[in-house]
Amino acid sequence: MKKIVIFGVGTVAESIYKNIDFSRVEILGFVNPYTFRVDTIKEFKGYPVYAIETIKDLEYDYLLIASGNVSSVKNKIKEVGLDSKKAIAFIIDNDNDVFFGDLMQKINQEYAEFLNDDVLSEIFLNYERNYIFPVTMQHSSCKKMKESKDFVRYKQLELIAESIYAHNVEGSVAECGVYKGEFSRKINAFFPDRNLYLFDTFEGFDIKSIANEIDTHEGNIESMQVRFMDTNVDYVLNRMPFKEQCIVKKGFFPETFDLDSSEKFAFVSLDMDLYQPILDGLRVFYPRLSQGGFIMVHDYKNAGYPRCKEAVDLFCKENGVTVVPLTDFFGSALLVK
């Protein structure tokens, strides 16, 4: 049984407390970091609250820092003569933390050297270099996203799922434009008790939809037609963590939408790339979206599919809906009812 003291009595300490494995950990108490309130906070979560100077005699294994400003806390720990090797951090607030700031500066310096950034600035007009930024201050937030290049999109889905369950938003979930099921399996994982409708031809783009795009899309009809053909229903279903919740609708949308009029949706992902399918998807699903539900449209800001944004903006204008642009890899859009 590990014995810990938690440095902090705020929202981070609250989050830590909710996630402690009490079968393996014993909390001895909390440390009040607010010296100006040292006499006003006597206990937290039923545990005693100490001033940092008074925990020297406690026999603990770890001092868990419930603050984003890790460097300043560690400095304070050294000042009062505590063992800094026992201090461990839960989060890092990169805006304030000296160590994290230095680390990001080093990473970006190496990144610029790798890209020959100084040379690129001499070659291109109005060149602005790219920077690497952290995506979250909570290390644990990355655990479900480690295999993906699109952290923001998947993390947004997780937060949407939390909101839907927290507010008891009713309805099934769906994805139109499944391809190999990469995003579908995340939807399935975050909504394990909801029916997941999977709409796709599983044979690539519909030739009729491509014809509407060809004037504004680079490439020819043939190259677009074969772009997403390397998939099949069995492959997709075998990737699903809760396969029993999945309902496949194979064929051309919206012809495959044959659901009862009472079917409502809490979350829908539209990833069909092309103008008419996206517009059809919004016209079909938005009226069936429960209050508090979400529609996420992929490729809204993707220059490779310029008419996707056109379809979303037209629908929103016609129906008085506000679109929220996201900063994920291909620039998704979010519609909230």
Residues in the chain: 337
Identify the pLDDT of residue 92.
Answer: 65
Contacts of 89 (CB under 8 A, 6+ apart): 65, 70
Domain locations along the chain: 2-89, 95-143, 144-336
The 3-state DSSP class for residue 189 equals helix
Identify the pLDDT of residue 218.
Answer: 47
pTM over 0.75: no
2-89 shares its CATH topology with 144-336? yes
Which fold does the domain 144-336 belong to in CATH? Rossmann fold (3.40.50)
CA-nearest of 228, 185, 316 to 333 is 316
Report yes or no: 28 and 15 within 8 Å, Cβ to Cβ.
no
Cα distance between residue 90 and residue 13, in whole Å: 9
Identify the pLDDT of residue 335.
Answer: 99
Cα distance between residue 93 and residue 163, in whole Å: 24
Identify the pLDDT of residue 288.
Answer: 98
2-89 domain in CATH 2.40.50.140? no
Condensed to tens digits (0 to 9), the pLDDT of residues 157-196 reads 999 999 999 999 999 999 999 999 999 999 999 999 999 9
Which parts of the chain sit beneath pLDDT 70? 35-40, 92-100, 133-149, 208, 211-212, 214-226
